[in-house]
Structure 1
Amino acid sequence: MATHLITGASSGIGAAVTRRLHTRGDTLWLLARNAGRARELAAEYPGAHTLVGDLADPGRLSWAFGHQSPPQELDSLLHIAGVVELGPIGDLTPKIWNEQLAANLVGPAELTRLLLPQLRLARGHVVFVNSGAGLNAHAQWGAYAASKHGLKALADSLRWEEKPNGLRVTTVYPGRTATPMQEKVHRQEGKEYDPALWIDPESVAQTILLTLDLPRDAEIQDVTVRPGS
């Protein structure tokens, strides 16, 4: 039975992964942005542990964890939470840039830093759920894509640095997935949203579990998931 810490467990891909790991009896630690959400997650997943910390305010994560009891050993850290705000570069304010960089890049970097001792102890696995925007940037996606390109760099550097400690690092690049975030993206794009056209979150969750369950003699470093025909 493995121990996992998951961000973004409340919806979309994160919820799909959490359900699967909870069903098979693994030990779960779920990061919630506030105490109210932590109570909701604890009720939804009996037996799961919760930690309160806001990825959008990475400078306070260390303080928050200092007032709680994080896991002593960790088999995997699953970075699934994220935020998106579209707009042309000419209209994006520093506030919009900073919000996306904090939640999508600096927050995951700080959370990883804080939990590296537990991950090293277990020779664990760090999984970053990125985006197709982490590989290619298009019009209106500048700030979000910049945060996700940075997340790719974070994962690649971490992989090299932690290889001597036995850590595995995987980045998953999902295409458009039928989640509440995707619904928001369609509204911002002025398009009708049909979830049937996009990847089911369960398909991405299955991919993530494949990377986690791979025997120790192999590592999936990068995997791209795209909508089927």
Structure 2
Amino acid sequence: MGVFWITGGGSGIGAALASHVASLGHELWLVARDEVRAGALRASFPEGRVVVADLAVPGALGEVLPAQGLPSRLDCLVHGAGVAQAGRIGEVGAQVWERTLAVNLVAAAELTRLLLPALRAARGQVVFMNSGAGVYAPPRLGAYAASKFGLKALAETLRAEEHEHGVRVTTVYPGETDTPMQVRLHEEFGLPYDPQAHMRPASVAAAVVMALGLPKDATMSDLMLRPGR
């Protein structure tokens, strides 16, 4: 069985992927922002290992996570956590930019750094859950799009640097998916929400599983997904 580390496992795509991994009996590591969320994750995934760390404070991860123990080998690291807040450039202050970049980009870079020895040991794979906003920056989502464009650069650099160590890197660009974030953004934009017009989180998780299942001599570097309806 493999060892999987997933951020954002409490809801949406991350939760769907964590459920799939757990159902196959893999060793599952999850990250919770605080003890309350950690309790909820432990209840949902009783066989999993839950560590407590606030991704909004990436500078503390290097101290907080090793103190709770890190795996010696890691087959897959999935960066599924993310935040988004709508607002025009002229309206959004530094606090929104700092939190968005911290959670969506800087924490991903720091967590990857901390887990690279384990990934190298297993010749594992890193999956970055990006967004359509990582390819095209829409109005009123400047901070979110900037973080996702940065995540794309992080993935490409990591792929080039870690090829010699056998670490594969995949970026997934899901289109509209039926997640709590998508519901909230529709509310902020004043748009009607139709779940049927969106992909299910389980469908995106299935695509990630497909990418992970490739033979070791191949890498799905980029995976673009769009609703089929």
Compute the TM-score of the two structures, normalised by the length of structure 2: 0.98
> 1:67, 1:218 → 2: CA distance?
35
SS of match in other structure, 2:203? helix
Question: Deviation per CA, 1:97-149, whole angstroms, max 9, x where unpaired?
Answer: 11100000001010001110110111110000000000000111111000000
Instruction: Tell me what 2:119 maps to.
Output: 119
Instruction: Tell me what 1:8 maps to.
Output: 8
Instruction: Tell me what 2:31 maps to.
Output: 31
Question: Deviation per CA, 1:77-112, whole angstroms, max 9, x where unpaired?
Answer: 000010000111100100011110000000101000
- Aligned-CA RMSD value: 0.8
Q: Which runs of 5+ in 1 are unaligned?
A: none
> 2:198, 2:86 → 1: CA distance?
19
Equivalent residue runs for 1:169-180 within 5 Å: 169-180=169-180
**Paired AA for residue 166 in structure 2:** G
> 1:226, 1:87 → 2: CA distance?
24
- Note if 1:82 corresponds to 2:82: yes
> 2:217, 2:60 → 1: CA distance?
37
Instruction: Tell me what 1:228 maps to.
Output: 228
Deviating more after overlay: 9-18 vs 66-75: 66-75
The alpha carbon displacement at 1:39 in A equals 2.1
**Paired AA for residue 98 in structure 2:** N
**Paired AA for residue 133 in structure 2:** A
State whether residues 76 and 124 of structure 1, in contact with CA within 8 Å, keep that contact through their aligned partners in structure 2: yes
Instruction: Tell me what 1:188 maps to.
Output: 188
The alpha carbon displacement at 1:36 in A equals 2.1
> 1:44, 1:178 → 2: CA distance?
20
Instruction: Tell me what 2:168 maps to.
Output: 168
Equivalent residue runs for 1:14-53 within 5 Å: 14-53=14-53
- Note if 1:70 corresponds to 2:31: no
Give 4+ residue runs of structure 1 displaced > 2 Å after superposition: none
Instruction: Tell me what 1:213 maps to.
Output: 213
> 2:120, 2:59 → 1: CA distance?
23
Deviating more after overlay: 33-42 vs 20-29: 33-42
> 1:54, 1:210 → 2: CA distance?
30
**Paired AA for residue 97 in structure 2:** W
Q: Between Structure 1 and Structure 2, how many residues are aligned?
A: 229
Identity %: 52
Instruction: Tell me what 2:200 maps to.
Output: 200
> 2:56, 2:188 → 1: CA distance?
21
SS of match in other structure, 2:176? coil
The alpha carbon displacement at 1:49 in A equals 0.7
Instruction: Tell me what 1:148 maps to.
Output: 148
The alpha carbon displacement at 1:18 in A equals 0.6
